[in-house]
Amino acid sequence: MFGKYRLRAGLAALCLVSGGSAFAGQDAPERVISSDVLVIGAGGAGLNAAVTAAMANAKVIVLEKQPTVGGATIISGGSMNFPDPLRQEKMGIKDSPDLMYQQVLAAGDYRNDPALVRTLVDNAPDLMGWYESLGVKWADRVFEPFGGLFPRGHNTGAAAAGRDYVRVLYNAAKAHNVDIHMNTRAVDLIRDGASGPVTGVKAVDEDGAITFRAKAVVIATGGFAGNVKMRMKYDPRLNESFRTTANPAGTGPAFNTGDGITMAQKIGGDVVGMDYIQLIPFTGGRVTDYVGADIWLNSDGKRFVNEGGRRDVITEAIMRQKGQMCWVITDEQSVKGATTEGKIRSGVVFKLNSLKEVAEKIGVDAKALQATLDAYNKMAAQKKDPEFGRTTFTQLINKPPYYVGVERESVHFTQGGLHINSQTQVLDFDGNAIPGLFAAGETTGGIHGTNRAGGNSLTAISVFGRIAGKNAAALAQAQ
């Protein structure tokens, strides 16, 4: 089935370039479909945009090149950051949009667009009610996601909570008559001259070329982590030996290939921060989704980094270790993800009954490992780390059995992308908004700066997806 689709789509794409029909000797009639709002991409950002626009009474079409919806959101752990006084105050945590604003800017080395960050943090608290209205049930917990730098993370408690967000968004989209075209790849944006509005998209589906006309277009095609050539243009180290967190086994097709960025650039769209590409350890050795319960050791059995630090700092530290890897160790006391038993069965994680067994597994001296754990546990008890500056400790690591696994870096997130303003309008090289064109999600740049804090991605795609849908619908209705 998929092989047949790829063949037909490939033939159709060739015909788009050559100007011929989808099949030799046939003059296929031009197919044109019109809507108020056209959304390219059915991931978290695209579905948020589509649902919001449809709720504003716009006729909405969504194009998705994959055979399924969800994009990177559906396979994510689901950590979402936003201030939540009800839960945070119970834990003695003081938080606010202003504090989040300062922390997001600092995490990105102040290379973020302050206006976009302000928009993000001011709208973040509304996400709890928004998702609840769609049917999400939040877990009664607040945590610090890996690389999140502050305890304001939320999810549904599921191992891959991203599925819960996609499920309710998809159901809402269908309930509001959003027309989703699967296996349909957008190829080119249609613009009325060099300075006119964007009026639609040229696309290819299983039956060949198809044109979608719309009064407003939203690009939500995700980042370019899966496009090796594109990412190497900005970071030559990231060759094909690096897998992505969206395709960790390297066996599936890459879907995050920067399509929307390329299409917008063809009609004059500007980009920002393209060299800010985030890697994270994603081999599977970690069994927790929060900071505070594990210790990371190099092949010599020594700590080498603040395990609760910035993701880019952790990445560079791991890349400097022998074999560009590390061991992650936790114990019986930590809260583990639902995938842990599967990781143990497949040999990704080892469940060991003593530190002696741990030492044998990672190939270090048992006494030296014991000394490392003793020193760490003393820091954890005092909540002070004079060596690496770690501040988040949720427990000691001293109760067998121990859970041990290897971590290596994978390409995770591209912070750069299309240049947008706070209204999610795509800007050209002169800083002017391209009429009729909006963008949201990982396909955009400027929000996270040099480094995205863990838990901010799903927040950003939701906030800006909703803004894009609202503004696209308003533009369509004004026409």
DSSP code string of 62-95: EE-SSSSSBTTGGGS---EE---HHHHHHTT---
Spatial separation of the C-alpha atoms in residues 31 and 121, rounded to whole Å: 42
In the 8-state DSSP scheme, what is residue 290?
A: B
In the chain, what are the domains? Answer: 2-74+164-223+258-276+415-478 (3.50.50.60), 281-410 (3.90.700.10)
Catalytic residue from among 152, 185, 303, 311: 311
Distances (CA, A) of 380 to 79, 189, 251, 327, 396: 24, 54, 40, 19, 6
Q: Contact, 388 vs 380, CB < 8 A?
A: no
pTM of the predicted structure, to 2 decimals: 0.89
pLDDT less than 70: residues of the chain: 1-28
Side-chain-facing half-sphere of 168: CA atoms under 13 Å? 16
Q: Using alpha carbons only, give the angle 463, 72, 161 rounded to the nearest 5 degrees.
A: 75
Position 4 scores a pLDDT of 31
Q: Shortest CA distance to 300 belongs to which of 212, 363, 257, 384?
A: 363
Q: Using alpha carbons only, give the angle 322, 329, 321 rounded to the nearest 5 degrees.
A: 10
Position 465 scores a pLDDT of 98
Spatial separation of the C-alpha atoms in residues 204 and 456, rounded to whole Å: 33
In the residue annotation, 311 being an active-site residue is answered as yes
Q: Contact, 404 vs 352, CB < 8 A?
A: yes
Position 378 scores a pLDDT of 97
User: Do the bridges between strand 32-40 and strand 208-219 make them parallel or antiparallel, or are there none, so unpaired?
Assistant: parallel
Neighbours of 232 (CB within 10 A): 15
Position 325 scores a pLDDT of 97
Position 13 scores a pLDDT of 36
Beta bridge partners of 205: 208
Position 42 scores a pLDDT of 98
Spatial separation of the C-alpha atoms in residues 45 and 120, rounded to whole Å: 14
For 94-130, the pLDDT digits (tens) are 999 999 999 999 999 999 999 999 999 999 999 999 9
Position 249 scores a pLDDT of 82
Position 267 scores a pLDDT of 98
Position 64 scores a pLDDT of 98
Position 338 scores a pLDDT of 84
For 356-370, the pLDDT digits (tens) are 999 999 999 999 999
- Please confirm whether the linkage preceding 114 is cis (ω < 30° from 0): no
Q: Contact, 201 vs 38, CB < 8 A?
A: yes
Residue with tokens 């799903």: 458
For 270-309, the pLDDT digits (tens) are 999 999 999 999 999 999 989 999 999 999 999 999 999 9
